[in-house]
Amino acid sequence: MPEAAAARARIPGMSVAQRSIVILVAALVIGAVVVVVALSLGRDGTATGSGDPTRSASASSTATEAATDTPTASPDASAPTDDETLAILTEIEEQIEAIRGLEPADIGAPDLITRDELRVELEQIFDEEYPQEERDRDNLALRAFGLLEPDQDVAELQLSLLGDGVLGFYDDTDRRMVVVTDAGLDAIAKLTYAHEYTHALQDAAFGLDSLETDAVGEDDRGLARTALIEGDANTTMLAWAFGGHLTQAEILSLQDMPLPDTSGIPSWMVAQLDFPYTIGQAWVLDLAGGNMQAPDFTEVNAAYLEPPSSTEQVIDVDAYRAREEPIPVELPDLAAALGAGWEEVDTSPVGEATIGIILEFFGVPFDDAGLAADGWGGDRATVVTGPGGDFALAWRLAWDAPADAGEFVAAYEIALGALDFPASVRQLPGGDVLVVHASTEAIHDATVGAAGG
């Protein structure tokens, strides 16, 4: 499922270029963190705690806008030489190793490249890892959800999200760090390197591939595990920043970053990008004892061996500690039920985090969207396409209690008004909820029947 750089967006049908931008792109790191920094600073610019770990409308809105880009620093006469840059980055590596308590990553010296070289490399990676066939299927699925307009292309939107703000990345395939040298080593660049080098330490210690963040049919689980990876890197980065490695002036300067222009980018895409960095950071910090300046990573390290299985467990740390597992939800073979010429595009759980994001995108007020997603027990959505461009979506959701199901139904009835094709939501006798989208009324009715509605 495609994700706008580093965020592992997980709406079914988006099986994306996670390999390309998963832990790769640091452009989107700092913007999301600006909000955390702003929430964490007292009037005198010193850290006061962990920031607000709850889902706040104002904080999320700011992070959503900021998470998509970072301004490029202008080189000046005092810019360090390559040797001086390497010395500074080596010092940051040693400081991060001490904070994180992990052995050094054997990745060699970082590659120092120009912004133009980086842009070319990222676009090549994106093209190689996200073939046209995948993009086409993702576009079909996203349009069935009502999340893309007919003239929008998910790949083009993702590339727009990359923008010109990339400062560097960790390549977990070739085990290498890449740094943009003409961006300058300002506070943002140093923070980025602290974040990305944490990924190198994670990979060396735990093997990030073992988390299977891009497993087919496990979209919500993948987003949750990405929140572990990115939340850990953000927590480490902030501990580094507030541990005396950035000056007070440098920390305060982060609050003055201009918000980028994300016009034309669907808000759900930016919100999913934000989730692992902000909610993931709050979750990891909770596991680490809540002290931003001196986190205890014992429980975080254990989480790599027993990672979260749903975004519910990230939103609610108690659900993780209690190992509250998602309720298995199955759907019949929708393509077979609809007949010849029908093909399954994707099937996967959507999950609590993305449900809230979808509802808000469709016009449900922020707080109401969060409440409607709360009480999620498990779900599965299947998207199929048929002859002549027809489509159908069947989405069955299980809830902790009938009242939770009713709240979701009420919220989704609002969302139906944003859709320009036949769609319905209904609470089933057993307590589950069924959502159906389709290209025609006849296909809608057939899908309801096939999905047990």
Cα separation of 86 and 161, whole Å?
29
Residues 6+ apart with CB under 8 A from 438: 390, 391, 392, 393, 421, 422, 423, 444, 447
Which parts of 209-266 fold into alpha helices (H)?
Answer: 219-240, 248-254
pLDDT exceeds cutoff 70 at 28: no
What angle do the packed helices 154-162 and 132-145 form, to 10 degrees?
100
Cα separation of 7 and 277, whole Å?
8
**pLDDT of res. 11:** 41
DSSP per-residue codes, 223-235 = HHHHHHHHHHHHH
Cα separation of 250 and 246, whole Å?
6
- The answer to whether 82 touches 112, Cβ cutoff 8 Å, is yes
Helix (H) / strand (E) containing 256: none
Cα separation of 375 and 399, whole Å?
6
Residue 311 shares a structural domain with residue 339 = no
Residue 37 shares a structural domain with residue 78 = yes
Tell me the pLDDT band of 452, cut-offs 50, 70 and 90. Answer: confident
Tell me the pLDDT band of 35, cut-offs 50, 70 and 90. Answer: very low
Compute the average pLDDT of residues 372-392. 97
Residue 327 falls inside a structural domain: no
Residue 59 falls inside a structural domain: yes
Of the three residues 321, 348, 382, the one that is the final residue of a domain is 321
- Look at residue 138 and give its three-state secondary structure: helix
Residue 253 shares a structural domain with residue 362 = no
Per-residue DSSP letter, 41 = B
Q: Which domain holds residue 347?
A: 334-450
**pLDDT of res. 73:** 41
Number of folded domains in the chain? Answer: 2
Residue 364 shares a structural domain with residue 232 = no
- The answer to whether 189 touches 167, Cβ cutoff 8 Å, is yes
CATH at residue 413: 3.30.565
* Strand partners for 113: 180
Q: Considering only 41-50, 61-70, 217-226, 242-251, which range has the smallest mean pLDDT?
A: 61-70
Residue 264 shares a structural domain with residue 413 = no
Compute the average pLDDT of residues 249-259. 71
Cα separation of 114 and 76, whole Å?
15
| Percent of the chain residues topping a pLDDT of 90 | 54
DSSP per-residue codes, 18-36 = HHHHTTTB-HHHHHHHHHH
pLDDT exceeds cutoff 60 at 56: no
Of the three residues 321, 345, 367, the one that is the final residue of a domain is 321
Residue-wise pLDDT tens digits, 395-429: 999 999 999 999 999 999 999 999 999 999 999 99
Residues 6+ apart with CB under 8 A from 449: none
DSSP per-residue codes, 139-172 = HHHHHHHT-S-TT--HHHHHHHHHTT---EEEET
pTM: 0.85
pLDDT exceeds cutoff 90 at 113: no
**pLDDT of res. 3:** 29
**pLDDT of res. 34:** 44
Per-residue DSSP letter, 362 = T
Residue 430 falls inside a structural domain: yes
In the chain, count H helices and then E strands. Answer: 19, 8
Phi, psi values for residue 445, rounded to 5° = -65, -40
Compute the average pLDDT of residues 127-144. 88
**pLDDT of res. 208:** 92
Residue-wise pLDDT tens digits, 143-195: 999 999 999 998 888 777 766 556 778 888 888 888 887 767 888 788 888 99
Tokens of 64: 């959503």
Cα separation of 122 and 26, whole Å?
12
Cα separation of 394 and 290, whole Å?
40
pLDDT exceeds cutoff 90 at 67: no
pLDDT exceeds cutoff 90 at 380: yes
Of the three residues 295, 321, 347, the one that is the final residue of a domain is 321
Of 357 and 133, the one with more pLDDT: 357
Compute the average pLDDT of residues 31-39. 44
- Dihedral sign of CA atoms 41, 36, 298, 103 in order: negative
Compute the average pLDDT of residues 234-263. 80
**pLDDT of res. 171:** 83
Cα separation of 389 and 439, whole Å?
8
**pLDDT of res. 397:** 98
Residue-wise pLDDT tens digits, 320-365: 999 999 999 999 999 999 999 999 999 999 999 999 999 999 999 9
**pLDDT of res. 59:** 30
Q: Report the length, in residues, of the chain.
A: 453
